[in-house]
Structure 1
């Protein structure tokens, strides 16, 4: 397990504290609608950090082609079970080197907020190096109060409760975040490290990777379409 990352609960736990069985149960929100409204119909999407396929499944149902990347073989096994047409690649995002480029590259799940600056830079480099010059990169950011409106909880339409319990500073602008997922038959917890980014810091990080914001896709600014700098 990576330093500062931990997960508890039934089933396999990935090195960054994600419980595979939990992620296979999580429901999808409006992400597929946001994505579908921002990219060409039927596009080939490189999904970086697919997890167990929570977003992959509805995108497939909308007619997109998906190449799913994750470092966890257990997560990718769940993705492969969704549809045999999905191509899966096991790799850390920041180390991905494919000899091809895609119309759309997607970095969701707040991965851009990883606490390790070198990993974030590697992830954004992977986005830039794998998108076509006329393509786009879709990135999901944390909400403005993600680290401050705490503790908070919500009851998911799927019948479980999500609690973000705390976000404690651990130095260098990084917080250790603790989350809890309560289902009728099981409880999972996850501890991970995240770095809050202002809009300016986020855009600067994109610029360093050769990307720029094309459009903020949602009113709260959590979904962004970026394009290569030419």
Structure 2
């Protein structure tokens, strides 16, 4: 388990505290539609941090070609129909370029600034000329609007119980995922980023934000800076 990360609940827990069984149950929501509306039809997508394929599978159904990357073999075992690569994202070098690179699961909020830079460099390293990077980031009030909870029609209740500062601009976040028959928890470290800090992080690696794809600004299309 990574320092500052842990998880509880049935099934395998990955080093960052994610539960494979939980992510297999989580509803996918609007994310595949957001991606599909932002990129060319039939694009070849490199999905970094694919997990169990919650977004991968709907993208395949929409006609995209997906190379799905995750460091957890247990997560990748749940992915069907996509080329899969089991590797740490920060070290990835496939020697290929892609129309679209996706950095999902709020990985841009890594507590380790060096790791964040490496993740963004991986995006740039695999980006084809004229391609775009889609980045999923946290909402502006995600660390201040706590505790909060959301109930899903599937029967799931998601609670963000706390976000406590642990130094150097990093918070320790505690989340609960409650189904009628099972409960999972996750504790993880996250570095909140203002719009200005986010733009600066992109600029460090030669990227620039092109458009916010959602009203809450949690999905961003970025490209290589001129």
TM-score by length of 2: 0.98
2:73 aligns to what? 73
Unmatched segments (≥5 aa) in structure 1: none
Q: Deviations over 1:22-71 (max 9, x none)?
A: 01111111111111110000111000000111111111111111000000
1:1-230 matches, within 5 Å, as 1-79=1-79, 82-83=80-81, 86-230=82-226
Q: What RMSD over aligned residues (CA atoms) do the two structures have, in Å?
A: 0.7
Structure 1 CA distance for aligned equivalents of residues 143 and 188 of structure 2: 12
TM-score by length of 1: 0.97
Structure 2 CA distance for aligned equivalents of residues 49 and 30 of structure 1: 17
Structure 2 CA distance for aligned equivalents of residues 158 and 108 of structure 1: 23
Structure 2 CA distance for aligned equivalents of residues 207 and 132 of structure 1: 18
**Alpha-carbon offset, residue 157 of structure 1:** 2.3
Runs of 4+ in 1 over 6 A off after TM superposition: none
